[in-house]
Copies of this chain bind each other. A is one copy, B any other.
Amino acid sequence: MQPRFLSRLPDREADEINEKDNPVILAGFGRFGHIVGRVLNLKGVRTTVLDLDADQVALVRKLGLKVFYGEASRLELLRAAGADTAKLLVVAVGEKETSLLIIETAQKHFPNLKILTRAFGREHAYRLLEQGAENIFRETLGSSLDLSVAALRALGFRAYEAQRAARFFRDYDEQSVRALAQYAKNEKELIFQAREQIQTLDQLMETERTRVHQPDSGWEPPVAS
């Protein structure tokens, strides 16, 4: 995240938007959204960016990037941003309730818009799933898996094996979030089911270990690298 050192803009009226036919609307341009915007920009994809943080908008403009100030959950602003004709809405705001609101508005008024959403964590993912959002990216999952791969590498596991474990875990964990979403309102059942899931994961991995590698009897330093 960039430092928030710029003073608040005096005028908090939503900006007028004149980039109506861009294929992507990106709501939220903080440490998550700005990465998405820049990657899309690199591939020549024109993006209409909306952000509610006036400091962030001012800073990003100083950096020479295009971003508009406004509340992305407001129907008029989404329409002004071209939601009728855009292909994709990326919801990258950092506040859970705001992201749920934006998605609610978009689903209701622009049913053809494909939505990709940043989620805070599991709990937020459960609520997004309940609301019918499908393409959910828990915001720390990717980097925690990146660190996991680096940890396994540092312990001597080969790159292929470390990446395979992370991929395996990710697939399983994404399935698990979807499977547990239905218990999200029942705490006891959620804990019971989560424990079951973790045991199943252990068993799956054990099966995989036995099938592919030699059986594991406690941790031993693997192949040095």
Of all chain B residues, which has the CB nearest A2? Answer: B122
Asked if A110 is at the interface of the complex by the 8 Å CB criterion, the answer is no
Q: Which of B5, B151, B168, B199 contacts A36 (CB 8 A)?
A: B151
Asked if A211 is at the interface of the complex by the 8 Å CB criterion, the answer is no
- Is B187's CB under 8 angstroms from A138's CB? no
Residues of A67-96 contacting chain B, CB below 8 A: 87-88, 90, 92
How many residues on the A side are at the interface (Cβ–Cβ under 8 A)? Answer: 75
Q: Which of B140, B195, B216 contacts A139 (CB 8 A)?
A: B140
Q: Which of B33, B135, B191, B201 contacts A42 (CB 8 A)?
A: B201
List, sorted by A's number, 16 A–B pairs whose CB atoms are closer than 8 Å. Answer: A1-B122, A31-B122, A31-B140, A32-B143, A35-B140, A35-B144, A35-B169, A38-B169, A42-B205, A44-B216, A64-B198, A116-B147, A116-B150, A139-B140, A140-B142, A143-B143
